[in-house]
Amino acid sequence: MGPHNVEEETSINISPERDEAEITVPPPPMSARPPRVLIIGAGSRGWVYARCARESSNGVIAAIAEPDDFKRQQFGRNFIWGHECPSEGSWFSHWRDFITWEKARREREEPGEAVPEGVDAAFVCVRDDMHHAVVVALAPLGLHIMCEKPLATTLDDCVSIYRALAPHQKDKIFSIGHVLRYSPHNMMLRKLLLEDKAIGDILSIAHTEPVGWWHFSHSYVRGNWRKESTTAPSLLTKSCHDIDIILWLLCSPSPGSDEPAHLPSTVSSSGSLQFFKKSRKPKAAGNATNCLSCAFEKDCMYSSKRVYVSDRHQGLETGNTGWPMSVVFPDIESFGKSQRKDVLLERLAEDYDESTPQDEIDGRNWFGRCVFESDNDVCDEQIVTVTWDEDPIPSSAPSSDSVGGRGSKQATFHMIGQTKKQCDRYSYIYGTEGEIYADSRTITVEDFRTGETKTYKPRLESLGHGGGDHGLTRQFILAVDRVKNHGWVAQKSQHEYIGCSLEEIIRSHAVVFAAEEARTGRKVVHWKDWWDSHVGPMTS
């Protein structure tokens, strides 16, 4: 079934022209013993999953592990203990403290001692480079785990996670934060393509992710993901979502089918850091390295003062203390409203020079730094091409004009930072009997057989990845609930509610690493040979 078949009350109506933007989805019924969830990391993604769990799931947030005292207390008051005193086992200053406590709790419980109730599942929402250590350490505890994307920042760490989790897959659920799979829009698109065969067999997909001009500068020039050496390539940190969606449509088995995956034949890529570099710096900016000491600041669209203070959409002067302000200055709410602008400007004025230790430069973000003088090195534009050879395995649901198997096809993905659109993805999909244009709100089907044009408007549950944040959270906790309270085996729950296997998760990440090898080596990667040499056989 996969994630397109959720609870009956969230079923997808795909009547043309129906606009379901105002529809909200009620949470599933609570079980007598609802799944108890630990959130590891009280950053923006930890907050998103906690809020979605409270609003859309039948689980409860039971504990938080977060080293920053302000963020931990703020999170706990909002989602766990409210105005009461925190109870034992509801907060930890480090994820390792939770593991130590949980092991001791189980040791105390074994002889019959009364102990606090433990948790059933964990959401891993720490920095990307920490995912491997956290997931591998959690694996022996036998918890259900949802890890924010990407799974890890190297292919070796992804495979290591697989090896650590594989022994537990018969009993435990694992999910990855590929939230795009769970948006009503993409679930409808997959149904139209793979079940309804609305345009026959797919021949080609051209998919674009427009990151957004200021969003790219915030996250990938000044922020957390600016350097490959300290995080990972932008194709992984930003666009592993998109590579996963492409494989979900062209590689994963059709819903209800037991056919094997249609594996790629080749992967190639080109791209570079084209814009956010010193050679593009306006001459009027001179030698300034920080916006607040730059003569060109008032005329610069990337001025940190403009973006974070006065911008009419998200600047501090609008009253916004959420994203991106929560990233720039996480504890800004601990200051009085009259103080916030001054302390923010002080933070933005911070800069580094030749005397600053490299580990200090690498260890924090510099949101006031000139975007043309930063230490960023990740691609701000990249194209990936994946091809599939014809596959003789018969299709499980061929159309009347099917080639009698899975035909050859290809996909191109374009990530571009310098855009007005902000993560407002769009795709052109070409088939043997029609074509589809899909953006984040509509799906338009051109049927060559009938000459008809149909436009679908999927329900938009929330703005968080088109409802994908809510969808993923609900599905993961439902999967845990089925195992905990309804006697389901984990493999069935994984299939029915998560809709992808651990091997599929590894494969979509592996395509990203193959694309990076192709880009940096200026070559075409032959998938089977590459997989055999870099990953090898997998058995869940």
Domains of the chain: 8-181+468-500 (3.40.50.720), 187-274+378-461+506-534 (3.30.360.10), 278-362 (no CATH)
Dump pLDDT digits (tens) for 484-528.
Answer: 999 999 999 999 999 999 999 999 999 999 999 999 999 999 999
Look at the block and give the residue holding tokens 């592996």.
Answer: 510
Residue 382 has pLDDT above 60, yes or no: yes
Segment 350-375 shows an average pLDDT of: 96
pLDDT of amino acid 322: 87
pLDDT of amino acid 8: 27
- With a pLDDT cut of 90, the percent of the chain lying above it is 83
Residue 20 has pLDDT above 50, yes or no: no
For the CA atoms of 469, 57, 498, 77, the dihedral, rounded to the nearest 10 degrees, stands at 60
Lowest average pLDDT, out of 15-29, 131-145, 523-537, goes to 15-29
Segment 106-131 shows an average pLDDT of: 96
- Rounded to 5 degrees, φ, ψ at 290 are -130, 140
Residue 189 has pLDDT above 50, yes or no: yes
Secondary structure string (H, E, C) spanning 134-167:
HHHHHHHHCCEEEECCCCCCCHHHHHHHHHHHHH
Encode 180-216: b = buried (16+ Cβ within 10 Å), e = exposed: bbbbbbbbbbbbbbbeebbbbbbeebebbbbbbbbbb
Residue 26's pLDDT band, with cuts at 50, 70 and 90, is confident
- Which whole-number Å values give the CA distances from 316 to 153, 215, 306, 309, 326, in the listed order? 32, 16, 10, 5, 10
Dump pLDDT digits (tens) for 444-472.
Answer: 999 999 999 999 998 766 555 667 899 99
pLDDT of amino acid 7: 30
pLDDT of amino acid 313: 83
Residue 257 has pLDDT above 90, yes or no: no
- Residue 234 and residue 274 in contact, taking contact as beta carbons nearer than 8 Å: no
User: Which of 167, 186, 159 has its CA nearest to residue 4?
Assistant: 186
